[in-house]
Structure 1
Amino acid sequence: MGREKVPGDFIEYGIALGGSAIYIASELDGNRHFHGYDVFGMIPSPTEQDDEKSKARYETIRSGRSTGIGGDTYYRYQGNLFDKVSASFTGFGVPVDGERIVLHKGLFEDTVDLDPKTRIALAHLDCDWHDPVKFCLERTFEVLSPGGVMILDDYNDYGGCRTATDEFLAGRADCRLTRILPHAVIRRL
Structure 2
Amino acid sequence: MGMLESGLRRAKRRLQDGWMSRKLDPIARQVQERRLTYLPTAKLLSLTNQIDRLNRDGVAGDFYEFGIALGGSSIIMASKMDANRTEERRYHGFDVFGTIPPPSAQDENDSHDRYAVIAAGKSQGIGGDDYYGYVDDLYGRVVRSFEDFGLSVDGDRISLHKGLFEDTLSLPPDARIALAHIDCDWYEPVKFCLERIADHMAEQGVIVVDDFNDYQGCRKATCAFLENDPRFLLEAERPHALLIRRAETGR
TM-score, with structure 2 as normaliser: 0.73
Deviation at 1:112, TM superposition (A): 0.4
Deviation at 1:33, TM superposition (A): 0.1
Letter in 1 for 2:67: G
What does the per-residue CA deviation read over 1:52-107, in whole Å, with 9 as the maximum and x for residues that have no partner? 01100001001101110112111100110000001001101222111000000000
Query: Equivalent residue of 1:103, what SS?
Result: strand
Matches of 1:80 and 1:188, distance apart in 2 = 36
Letter in 2 for 1:164: A
Determine which of 97, 106, 111 is the counterpart of 1:49: 106
Coordinate RMSD, CA, aligned: 1.3
Matches of 1:147 and 1:97, distance apart in 2 = 28
Q: How many pairs are equivalent?
A: 189
Bigger Rg over Cα: 2
- Does residue 124 (structure 1) correspond to residue 177 (structure 2)? The answer is no
Deviation at 1:171, TM superposition (A): 4.2
Letter in 2 for 1:151: V
After the TM superposition, list the runs of 4 or more consecutive aligned residues in structure 1 that deviate by more than 6 angstroms: none
Gaps of 5+ in 1: none
More helix by share: 2
Identity %: 54
Letter in 2 for 1:152: V
Query: Equivalent residue of 1:170, what SS?
Result: helix
**Paired residue for 2:124?**
67
Matches of 1:54 and 1:173, distance apart in 2 = 28
Determine which of 216, 219, 225 is the counterpart of 1:159: 216
Gaps of 5+ in 2: 1-52, 247-251
**Paired residue for 1:79?**
136
- Contact 1:116 / 1:142 at 8 angstroms: preserved in 2? no
Letter in 2 for 1:156: N
